[in-house]
C-alpha cells in the first residue's frame, strides 16, 4: 500500500468515525424513566435507634422490603448527598452506612447494577467522594461509584413549570434505558438558602447546568425540578442532623447527634411526606417551607402528616 493510499484511507476512516460519533451525540434523548410499579406501603416509616445500617434496613423492611421495589435485573441508581469534602461526623454528607445498606438491599433483591453518584459542586469530585466515606462503603457493598460525565446532561423541558421551564438533567437519572429504579438518599440539614435540605432539594445533585442560577426563587424551582425526576423511594438520613451553618457545616457543635433530635432514618415512596416529617425535626411546620408547599401543590406528594400513615419503630 502506498503512503498516499494509506493517508487517504486514514483520513476517510477518521472522518467517518468522527461523523458517526457526532451523529450519535446529537441523537434525540431516549424515553424518560417512569415510576417503577411497586408494592411498597404508601405510608411513612420512622426508625429510631443507634445503628444506622440497622435503622435503614428496618425502615425499608417496614415499607415491605426492597424486593417489592427492585426486581431481578434492574439497574438501580442511588443518589446520596456526597457534595462536600467533609468527614461523616460533620453531617454534611449522607451517612455512608445508610447508603451502603441501601446498596446491599438492592443487591440482595437481585439488581443487575447499583450505581451511586452525585454531581458535586466541585469540578473534581474525588475529594468529596472519598472524604464522605460513601465511595468506599458503597463499593464494598457492591455498587459502582462513577463520577458524572460532564457531557451526560440533557436539557429537558419541565411540564407545567412555574419558575424554570427547562434544565439539563443527568442521563442516568432520567432515561429509561439507563435506570429502572431511582432511590434518593438525602441527609437532613440546615440550608442557608432553602432553610432546610432533605429529599426534594437533593435533586440539585441530579442536574447540571449553572446551578447557582437556581437559587433565586429556589422553592418553586426545587418543585419544578422534582416534576421531571421519577424518584421511586426516598430514604432520609437523620442519624446526624446538621442544625446550623448548613449546608457545608464543619463544626461538631452544630451537629445534633442526640436521641431526641436525631438518630433516625425516615423512608417513604412519598418524597414530600419525607421532607414534611424532616421539617418537624427542625421544629418547623411543613407549610413553613416554600419548597414543600410548592411540591405539594405540584402534586408530588402529601405534606399533611396527619393524612400520611406514620409508623414509628425503635430498632
Partner 1 sequence: MRLSRVRKLVQAATFAAFLVLLVRARSLSGVGVPVEAFPRMSPFSALAAAFASRRITCISGVAVLVALSAVLLGRFFCGWVCPMGTTLDVTDRLLKPWRREGRRVYDGRRAKYYLLALLLLLALLGVQWAGLFDPLSVATRTYGLAVQPWATRGIDETLRVGAALPVVGRAAENVRVGLAGALDAHPPPTYRQHGVILLVFVVVVLLGLLRTRYWCRNLCPLGAMLGLFSLRNLLRRKVSDECTSCGRCPPLCPMGAIPPDRPTHTLAGECILCMNCRDVCPHGAVAFGPRQPAEQSEEVDLSRRAVLAAAATAVVLAPATRVISSAGLGSGRPSLIRPPGALPEVDFLAACIRCGECMRVCPTNGLQPVGFERGLDGLWSPRLVPRIGPCDYRCNACTRVCPTGALRPLDLADKQRRAIGLARVDRSRCIPWVGSQAYAKDGGGAADCNCGVCEEFCPVPTKAIRFNSVHVPGIGEVRRPFIVESLCVGCGTCEHVCPVPGQAAIRVEGRQLLLDQQGSAALGDLFPLSLAGLQRMESPHLYEGSEGLWNYIDGGADPYLTYAFLRAGTCQYGAGGQARVKLDIWQFGNTADAFGVHNLDRAVDAQPLDVGDAAAATADSLWMWQDKYAVWLRAAAGRAALKDGREMAKQVSAMLPPTGARRPALVSRLPASQQAPLSALYFHSARAMTLAAQNRDLYLAEKAIPDDILGASVSGVMAQYEVSGGKKAWLVLAGPDGASLAARFAEMRRNWGQPEETADGITIFAESDGFFAAQLVSDALLIAALRCPSRADALALVRRATRQAR
Binding site for partner 1 (CB under 8 A): 17-18, 20-22, 24-25, 85-86, 121-127, 131, 146-147, 149-151, 163, 191-193, 210-213, 215-218, 243-245, 247-251, 253-254, 282-283
Q: Minimum distance from CB of 123 to partner 1 (Å)?
A: 6
Residue 259 has which C-alpha cell? Answer: 436521641
End-to-end CA distance of the chain: 75
In the bound state with partner 1, the residue whose beta carbon lies nearer, of 50 and 130, is 130
- Among residues 220 and 227, whose Cβ is nearest to partner 1? 220
Nearest CB to partner 1, comparing residues 36 and 243: 243
CB 166 → partner 1: shortest distance, Å? 11
Give strand ranges (E) for 209-270: 233-242, 255-256, 264-268
- Rank residues 90 and 239 by Cβ distance to partner 1 and give the closer one: 90
- Taking the C-alpha atoms of residue 199 and residue 289, their distance in angstroms, rounded to an integer, is 13
Are 144 and 113 in contact by the 8 Å Cβ rule? The answer is yes
Q: What are phi and psi of 84, to 5 degrees?
A: -120, 140
Q: CB 4 → partner 1: shortest distance, Å?
A: 22
Residue 119, Ramachandran bin (φ over 0: left; ψ between -120 and 50: alpha; else beta): beta
Distance (Å, whole) CA 33 – CA 72:
18
Taking the least distance from each CB to partner 1, the nearer of 251 and 259 is 251
**Residue 299's CB: how many other CB atoms inside 10 A?**
11
| Phi, psi of 269, deg, nearest 5 | -80, -15
Distance, in Å, from the CA atom of 230 to the CA atom of 266, rounded to the nearest integer, reads 19
Nearer CB in complex with partner 1: 61/248: 248
Contacts of 215 (CB under 8 A, 6+ apart): 193
**Bridge-partner residues for 266, per DSSP?**
46, 236
Q: Smallest distance, Å, CB 3 to partner 1?
A: 17
Least distance to partner 1, CB of residue 310, Å? 20
Question: Least distance in Å: CB of 215 to partner 1?
Answer: 5
Taking the least distance from each CB to partner 1, the nearer of 242 and 272 is: 242
Q: Which residues contact 54 (CB under 8 A, 6 or more apart)?
A: 315
* Nearest by Cα to 154 from 29, 43, 253, 282: 29
Q: In whole angstroms, how close is the CB of 282 to partner 1 at the nearest point?
A: 7
Contacts of 271 (CB under 8 A, 6+ apart): 184, 199, 200, 226, 231, 234, 295, 300, 301
92 or 173: CB nearest partner 1: 92
CB of 112 to partner 1, least distance (A): 15
Amino acid at each position: 500500500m502506498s503512503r498516499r493510499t494509506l493517508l487517504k484511507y486514514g483520513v476517510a476512516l477518521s472522518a467517518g468515525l468522527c461523523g458517526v460519533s457526532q451523529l450519535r451525540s446529537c441523537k434525540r434523548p431516549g424515553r424518560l424513566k417512569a415510576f417503577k410499579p411497586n408494592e411498597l406501603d404508601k405510608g411513612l416509616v420512622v426508625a429510631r435507634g443507634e445503628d444506622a445500617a440497622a435503622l435503614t434496613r428496618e425502615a425499608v423492611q417496614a415499607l415491605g422490603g426492597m424486593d417489592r421495589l427492585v426486581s431481578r435485573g434492574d439497574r438501580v441508581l442511588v443518589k446520596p448527598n456526597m457534595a462536600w469534602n467533609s468527614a461523616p461526623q460533620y453531617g454534611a454528607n449522607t451517612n455512608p452506612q445508610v447508603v451502603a445498606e441501601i446498596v446491599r438491599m438492592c443487591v440482595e433483591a437481585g439488581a443487575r447494577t447499583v450505581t451511586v453518584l452525585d454531581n458535586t459542586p466541585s469540578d473534581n469530585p474525588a475529594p468529596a467522594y472519598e472524604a464522605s466515606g460513601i465511595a468506599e462503603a458503597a463499593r464494598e457493598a457492591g455498587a459502582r461509584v462513577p463520577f458524572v460525565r460532564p457531557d451526560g446532561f440533557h436539557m429537558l423541558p419541565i411540564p407545567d413549570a412555574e419558575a424554570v421551564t427547562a434544565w439539563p438533567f443527568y442521563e442516568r437519572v432520567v432515561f429509561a434505558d439507563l435506570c429502572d429504579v431511582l432511590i434518593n438518599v438525602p441527609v437532613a440539614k440546615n440550608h442557608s438558602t432553602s432553610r432546610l435540605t432533605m429529599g426534594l432539594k437533593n435533586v440539585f445533585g441530579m442536574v447540571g447546568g449553572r446551578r447557582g442560577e437556581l437559587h433565586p426563587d429556589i422553592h418553586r424551582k426545587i418543585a419544578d425540578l422534582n416534576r421531571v425526576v421519577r424518584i421511586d423511594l426516598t430514604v432520609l438520613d437523620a442519624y446526624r442532623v446538621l442544625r446550623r451553618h448548613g449546608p457545608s457545616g464543619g463544626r461538631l457543635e452544630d451537629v445534633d447527634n442526640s436521641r431526641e433530635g436525631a438518630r433516625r432514618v425516615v423512608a417513604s415512596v412519598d418524597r414530600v411526606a419525607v421532607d414534611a416529617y424532616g421539617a418537624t425535626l427542625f421544629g418547623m411546620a411543613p407549610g413553613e417551607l416554600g419548597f414543600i408547599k410548592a411540591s405539594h401543590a405540584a402534586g408530588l406528594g402529601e405534606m399533611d402528616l396527619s393524612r400520611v400513615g406514620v409508623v414509628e419503630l425503635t430498632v
